[in-house]
Amino acid sequence: MSRASGNQDPEELMKEVQEARRIKMLHQPSKVMDMEHELQALRIQLVEKSKQSLQLQKELAIRKRAEEDVSHLYELDGPEALGSYLRIQSCSGRAAELSNCSIQWYRLTAGGGKKELISGATKPIYAPEPFDVGRILQVDIISDGQRITLTTTGPIDPAAGLGNYVEALVRRHDTEFNVVIGQMNGLDHQSQSIHVLHVGKMRMKLCKGKTTVTKEYYSNSMQLCGVRGGGNAAAQALFWQAKIGLSFVLAFESERERNAAIMLARRFAFDCNIMLAGPDDRSPLGT
């Protein structure tokens, strides 16, 4: 048409091209049908995907409700602070007896990254110790193959005034604490007589009157930490491995004295290039 009229207007040429394409499509119905079939298949796939999405949302909601029901079988009770103790309590008649469950406590960084197993902390009661300050505590309860995890609402708080108290003790050459031996080498100690634990700048010593029970310099074989289990008095007791083959559980007059003794001994040991901690401490499980 353009050649016949001699008109080369671009707009007219575009209209002619569009008309030519439309006429070509009308004469190729197979391509149109293919497109319609493809659209129909896409519609069917979209419907199926929507059904699957709804089903997955329902399953997720059901599983979430089940997990919430499980987590409410137990709860952590007690102040989340140094100087106290935390207790696992059942809050449902469907909860298994804790004596029939496997229990393990962990400490986590505030961000929830590093997770450290607290070796020996396998009882329903755990008393935070100085290493736990600023950490979140977690406990796993396993019953009939089902794992229930509880965590503290936030990091463990420090004990009020304890830091200043320890700083005052650091200036002394030797600090004495009255203690009672609860266990010796893992066996219950029958005598309830008062002993004196000396925490010095170079060594620790346990005495009864003028008799020295043990006297050991800070070393890599020495261990010191809060008692990891027990009853209500756990916050007042510590575990001390003076050397390989000789260990004690010592009960103090108060929670403040127990935590001060741990912090003071660790401070002096650090000055001797010794990291004084409990069994398997500083052993991350993963990130």
In a domain, 210, yes or no: yes
**Are 137 and 234 in a shared domain?**
no
Mean confidence (pLDDT) of the chain: 87
Q: What pTM does this model have? A: 0.72
Arithmetic mean of pLDDT, 199-204 = 97
**Are 117 and 93 in a shared domain?**
yes
In a domain, 258, yes or no: yes
> For position 92, which CATH number holds?
2.60.40.2700
Rounded CA-CA distance 159/89 in Å is 24
**Are 187 and 234 in a shared domain?**
yes
Q: Model confidence at 278, in pLDDT bands (50, 70, 90)?
A: very high
**Are 169 and 267 in a shared domain?**
yes
- pLDDT given for residue 206 in this prediction: 98
Domain-ending residue, one of 126, 151, 176: 151
**Are 202 and 256 in a shared domain?**
yes
Domain-ending residue, one of 151, 172, 192: 151
Q: How many CB atoms lie within 10 A of CB 274?
A: 17
> For position 258, which CATH number holds?
2.30.29.140
**Are 184 and 231 in a shared domain?**
yes
Arithmetic mean of pLDDT, 221-241 = 92
For residue 195, pLDDT beyond 90: yes
In a domain, 22, yes or no: no
**Are 105 and 177 in a shared domain?**
no
Identify the domain containing residue 118 by its residue range. Answer: 74-151
- Please answer whether residues 189 and 183 qualify as being in contact, where contact means their C-beta atoms are separated by less than 8 angstroms: yes
Q: Please report, for the chain, how many H helices and E strands are present, in that order.
A: 5, 16
**Are 177 and 85 in a shared domain?**
no
Dihedral of alpha carbons 158, 163, 165, 171, sign: positive
Arithmetic mean of pLDDT, 271-275 = 95
For residue 58, pLDDT beyond 90: no
CA atoms within 13 A of residue 261's CA, in its CB half-sphere:
30
- Count of structural domains, the chain: 2
- Residue whose C-alpha is closest to residue 223's, from 237, 205, 240, 238: 240
For residue 86, pLDDT beyond 50: yes
For residue 71, pLDDT beyond 80: no
Q: Model confidence at 3, in pLDDT bands (50, 70, 90)?
A: low
In a domain, 240, yes or no: yes
Most confident of 15-29, 39-53, 86-100, 185-199: 185-199
- pLDDT given for residue 23 in this prediction: 74
**Are 144 and 168 in a shared domain?**
no
List residues bridging with 247 in a β-sheet: 241
**Are 125 and 180 in a shared domain?**
no
